[in-house]
Amino acid sequence: MTRLGLGCAQLGNLYTAISDETASATVSAAWDAGVRYFDTAPHYGLGLSERRLGAALRGRPRDAYTISTKVGRLLVPSPSTAGEPDPAGFVVPAAYRREWSFTADGVVRSLAGSLDRLGLNRVDLVLIHDPEDHSRAALDEAYPALHALRAEGVVRAIGVGSTKAAVLDRFVADTDIDAVLVAGRYTLLEQPALDSLLPSCLRRGVAVLNGGVFNSGLLAVDEPHAGLPYEYREAPDSIVARARAIATVCARHGVSLPGAALAFAAAHPAIASVVIGAQTPEQARRNFALAAAPPPPAEMWAELVDHGLLRADAPVPDRAAA
């Protein structure tokens, strides 16, 4: 697993429709930047992300890259809504409906559908997706099913992905998972995963995949403003104000807000990979170039702490070591 991964929600037309050609070029731009880890899910564009990712990687050596996908939502054909837009924020027709399923049968069916859409005979990592409202079924049924698939060699690794750090923490404590994907809970804007989740993962040897590091887009621009998304909806004024304050400190030290966000997201020793989304090849090239740049100066992090904009106990990148 590479230190940087491509998050593929945008390949499923998250917020904005893109062409198949743009999707393929975005994957190629990430590949050219050295990325070999790609994260997708049936949820992303009702399977569109998986289909596009599989097509974009076709012809590349299978052992050269790692793919994760997710279980928890089955895609059920819905002819009656096929002419309507998808209500979940993806610009696709609602030809399928998402049906929550954390049963053993649901896990097997979901994985089979993903393999078919990806055009692959295996994936490397399977994550239980957003189990926060279904934690009992996810622990008692989905997890044992994935544990068995891992023991049989059907998948190489298993884990959980969520925006809720406490949910992930419970799986780390109570199961034998290999990885967690924490989305939006360990970013330059907010660090609740630092309370318990990241230390627990470090103790137990569970790899942390840090996703949503731009908080749905708010930290992806140099000057945050009203109307940008946060938590997949319009950011509240208080959150925009905090992001602006962070950006102001970064600018004083000659650092862009996205660059600082990416540098911070990788600094904790529990984090195995930072998963970065991109909508176009140009965006991918920019993001991965920023992530590969030398880290910001120590004075910038110190000023953020002094202004109450960053937790004092959050690890920051060491420019000298880099």
**What confidence tens digit (pLDDT) does each residue in 58-75 have?**
999 999 999 999 999 999
Given a cut of 60, whether residue 257 has pLDDT beyond it is yes
Asked if residue 182 is part of any domain, the answer here is: yes
Residue 276 domain boundaries? 4-238+258-295
Asked if residue 289 is part of any domain, the answer here is: yes
Asked if residue 317 is part of any domain, the answer here is: no
- Classify 99 in phi/psi space as left (phi over 0), alpha (psi -120 to 50) or beta: beta
Q: Print the SS3 string covering the chain.
A: CCCEEEECCHHHCECCCCCHHHHHHHHHHHHHCCCCEEECCCCCCCCHHHHHHHHHHCCCCHHHCEEEEEECEEEEECHHHCCCECCCCECCECCEEEEECCCHHHHHHHHHHHHHHHCCCCCCEEEEECCCCCHHHHHHHHHHHHHHHHHCCCCCEEEEEECCHHHHHHHHHHCCCCEEEEECCCCCCCCHHHCCHHHHHHHHCCEEEEECCCHHHCCCCCCCCCCCEECCEECCHHHHHHHHHHHHHHHHCCCCHHHHHHHHHCCCCCEEEEEEECCCHHHHHHHHHHHHCCCCCHHHHHHHHHCCCCCCCCCCCCCCCC
- Amino acid identity of 296? P
**What confidence tens digit (pLDDT) does each residue in 182-203 have?**
999 999 999 999 999 999 999 9
Asked if residue 273 is part of any domain, the answer here is: yes
- Classify 186 in phi/psi space as left (phi over 0), alpha (psi -120 to 50) or beta: beta
Average pLDDT over residues 232-254: 97
Average pLDDT over residues 280-297: 96
**From the candidates 37, 44, 186, 230, which is the catalytic residue?**
44
Q: What percent of the chain has pLDDT over 90?
A: 97
Given a cut of 90, whether residue 208 has pLDDT beyond it is yes
User: Looking at residue 139, what is its pLDDT?
Assistant: 97
Given a cut of 70, whether residue 224 has pLDDT beyond it is yes
Average pLDDT over residues 155-177: 97
Q: How confident is the model at residue 321 (pLDDT cuts 50, 70, 90)?
A: low
Given a cut of 70, whether residue 319 has pLDDT beyond it is no
- The CATH number covering residue 181 comes to 3.20.20.100
Given a cut of 60, whether residue 322 has pLDDT beyond it is no
Instruction: Supply 8's token pair.
Output: 């593929």
- Amino acid identity of 143? Y
Asked if residue 193 is part of any domain, the answer here is: yes
Average pLDDT over residues 290-301: 96
User: Looking at residue 100, what is its pLDDT?
Assistant: 98
Q: What is the mean pLDDT of the chain?
A: 97
Asked if residue 46 is part of any domain, the answer here is: yes
Q: Taking Cα atoms as reference points, which of 199, 201, 236 lies closest to residue 215?
A: 236
User: Looking at residue 315, what is its pLDDT?
Assistant: 98
Phi, psi of 211, deg, nearest 5 = -110, 170
Cβ neighbours of 26 (radius 10 Å): 27
User: Looking at residue 1, what is its pLDDT?
Assistant: 85
Instruction: Supply 178's token pair.
Output: 């290999």
Average pLDDT over residues 234-246: 97
As a whole number of angstroms, the distance between CA 70 and CA 155 comes to 12
Q: How confident is the model at residue 320 (pLDDT cuts 50, 70, 90)?
A: low
Average pLDDT over residues 244-272: 98
Residue environment code for 283-308, b if the CB has 16+ CB neighbours within 10 A, otherwise e:
bbbbbbebbeeebbeeebbebbeeee
Asked if residue 309 is part of any domain, the answer here is: no
As a whole number of angstroms, the distance between CA 294 and CA 126 comes to 33
230 annotated active-site: no
Cβ neighbours of 140 (radius 10 Å): 12
Given a cut of 60, whether residue 264 has pLDDT beyond it is yes
**What confidence tens digit (pLDDT) does each residue in 105-136 have?**
999 999 999 999 999 999 999 999 999 999 99
Q: What percent of the chain has pLDDT over 70?
A: 99
Based on the structure, what is the number of domains in the chain? 1
Residue 181's DSSP bridge partners are: 161, 209
Average pLDDT over residues 262-281: 97
Asked if residue 248 is part of any domain, the answer here is: no
